[in-house]
Amino acid sequence: MKLIRWGILIVLLVTYLLTLALYPTLPDVIASHWDASGMTNGYMPKFWGLITIPLIMTLCIGLFTLLPRIDPLRLNYAKFRNYYEGFVLIFAIFMLAIQLQVILWNAGHPVSPNLIIPIFCGILFIAAGSLVEHAEPNWFAGIRTPWTLNDPQVWKKTNERGGKLFKFAGVISCCGVLAGAYAIWFVVAPVLIVAVYTVVYSYSISRDNL
């Protein structure tokens, strides 16, 4: 567990150090947004274009650190702590990959987000699936519906099935790297389907338990 925490810190520091090191070499206005076909359609001043992702990354990691401390069911986190912190590490790597894509593009090495986003979103979804599959009842991590939160058996069945489905969605997302302008659908559609399905599934098995 300490190794995972060190890994999170190292990835965060690498993101900032890499940004600072390459900051002087990049243009004053940088590409910061791309359309579905991977073409630039948005620009920002260099400072905000390069600091936004590290700031979001820092705030999210801070939030992930805080949530287990304020959760009324905080004691349950000990049962899946490695999966929780492992997900945070994968999230940090995901954010670093996005920052690298922005830096490389603006440094004259145009790596399309349609190559980066599907793969790293897929890896993130797989990590989320592992977290969901092993999560014990809590208020912040896992599939939380009124029915899972009210019944430990519904929680267990829903999160175990949902975790497997999120992993499958991650595999589909990775395949988006071959889809060009349609890559976004490989990332978004499977996750939305799984999210809707797990809500309906948790309600269904809750009704069966009545």
pLDDT tens by residue, 139-178: 999 999 999 999 999 999 999 999 999 999 999 999 999 9
- Over the stretch 82-109, which tens digit does the pLDDT of each residue have? 999 999 999 999 999 999 999 999 998 9
Query: Which stretch of 4-8, 38-42, 85-89, 150-154 has the lowest confidence by average pLDDT?
Result: 38-42
pTM of the model as a whole: 0.92
Nearest Cα residue to 132 out of 99, 100, 96, 156: 156
What proportion of the chain, given as a percentage, has pLDDT over 70? Answer: 99
Report how far apart the first and last C-alpha atoms of the chain are (Å, whole number): 40
Angle formed at CA 21 by CA 117 and CA 39, multiple of 5 degrees: 30
Give how far Cα 101 sits from Cα of 9, 55, 150, 164, Å.
21, 16, 43, 29
Phi, psi of 112 (to 5 degrees): -65, 140
Q: Phi/psi zone of residue 38: left (φ > 0), alpha (ψ -120 to 50 degrees), beta?
A: left
pLDDT-derived band at 1, boundaries 50, 70, 90: low
pLDDT-derived band at 41, boundaries 50, 70, 90: confident
Is residue 72 scored above 70 in pLDDT?
yes
Single-letter amino acid code for the residue at 67: L
pLDDT-derived band at 210, boundaries 50, 70, 90: low
Is residue 125 scored above 90 in pLDDT?
yes
